[in-house]
Amino acid sequence: MTNFCPAPHDDPLAAARHEVAESLRQRRPNFSLPQPFYNDARVFAVDMQEIFEKEWLFAGMTCEIPAKGNYMTLDVGDNPVILVRGNDGAVHGFHNVCRHRGSRLCLHEKGKVAKLVCPYHQWTYELDGRLLFAGSDMGENFDLAAYGLKPIQVKSAGGYIFISLSDAPPAIDDFLATLEHYLEPYDMANVKVAVESSIVEQANWKLVIENNRECYHCNGAHPELLNALQEFDDTDDPRATPAYKALVANKQADWEVQRVPWQLKRFGKQNRLTRTPLREGTVSMTLDGKAACQKLMGRLESPDMGSLRILHLPNSWNHFMGDHAVVFRVMPLGPQQSVVTTKWLVHKDAVEGVDYDPEQMRKVWDATNNQDRRLAEENQRGINSKAYEPGPYSGTYEFGVIDFIDWYSERLQENLKENAPPLQMVQG
């Protein structure tokens, strides 16, 4: 009898990879995932290796590192990363790991440096990653050129910075070109972060994204947000009312005159852009629906621009209005813990206390983020129960969640297949 089994190898997650792939192959379409996908440490490790270390991730905004030597850091699981503006004006990305003995180089979330200097033994790197100094004790034959920082993939478009830890990440250029086009009216080279927040949610990252991808819960959970936000964001939504469709037609005519892109654009199930009106009589996501910033973004002439909604899986959703924008980044911290970072953007010349009040600007999304945190955490607590089993999604209200879970399942299976060990014949 001849059986097939994985060849011996050193991957401690080999069994978990096999179990994950088999579970996804057998999963019931349009249902939530089996319990381990939301709380198991081994499945989380597979997520990190096969999704967060291989896909393109939203990392931050180019306006956060505007000049030579400005840097920002973030952690992709156990992988600390640096993004730095180089002497050439380009954004460079590196593993935040010294090539001497592995210490982190940059210890703060943001800063400005002339060179990248390791705080442990002062090995010094150029902003393009080249090792410049390692001290005289390494010997006269030591080759500086062999110990530059290890780079990561970086692409920028429309003021966004995307990174991938993969040597061969998936194609993203078509989405980036469209993102650049849709954000042209905002002049993203001339924006700044007015205020930001980070909250830790005791929930798996997929629950955070699932919660965002539907507004089924909005009526019962988000009174502040629904002062301005429509529950649906395009006329293809099966719940869209005739009044909403009429409002969309009127606003689209206005946006056309202003040469502002509004058409719904999809790039598979991973990326999506669409401009949709806010509730009639409101122009911004504020408690009173009025503009939060008196200086409009870019070349826009009216605050009444609705919301340009931008989705990028696995870790970002965004709202661009006429007066300000709100961008969101999700990063996993553990099987049942995630951090959600929110940044409010305004025109770089807007003056705090004159053109905008940051506390007023952030109130709606501070409330909404906290409400969503509670929902995701209660979702996690229920899923941890022995009573949990996958439940059905609503095709009417939760089609966005279905798309996300389908994308996740497809990408994870594809990446696992690429990483699968060879098979060997075993006689027995």
pLDDT of residue 11: 80
Q: Is the same domain home to 261 and 321?
A: yes
pLDDT at residue 220 greater than cutoff 50: yes
Rounded mean pLDDT, 389-409: 97
pTM, two decimals, is 0.94
**Tell me: the pLDDT tens digits for 112-125?**
999 999 999 999 99
Task: Print the domain residue range for 186.
Answer: 1-47+173-428
Q: Is the same domain home to 180 and 277?
A: yes
Q: For 115-140, what is the HEC assignment?
A: CEECCCCCCEECCCCCEEECCHHHCC
Whole-angstrom distance, CA of residue 359 vs CA of residue 362: 5
Residue 335 falls within a domain, yes or no?
A: yes
Arithmetic mean of pLDDT over the chain:
94
- Using the 3D structure, point to which of 157, 188, 216 is the last residue of a domain: 157
Q: Is the same domain home to 198 and 347?
A: yes
Rounded mean pLDDT, 269-293: 96
How sure is the predictor about 421, in pLDDT bands with cuts at 50, 70 and 90?
Answer: low
Rounded mean pLDDT, 26-52: 98
Helices (H) and strands (E) in the chain, counts: 9, 19
Rounded mean pLDDT, 86-108: 97
Q: Is the same domain home to 121 and 227?
A: no
Residue 167 falls within a domain, yes or no?
A: no
Q: What total of structural domains would you count in the chain?
A: 2
**Tell me: the pLDDT tens digits for 146-167?**
999 999 999 999 999 999 999 9
- Using the 3D structure, point to which of 89, 122, 157 is the last residue of a domain: 157
* % of the chain beyond a pLDDT of 90: 89
Torsional class of 410: left (φ above 0), alpha (ψ -120 to 50), beta (otherwise): alpha
Instruction: Output the domain CATH number for residue 285.
Output: 3.90.380.10
How sure is the predictor about 79, in pLDDT bands with cuts at 50, 70 and 90?
Answer: very high
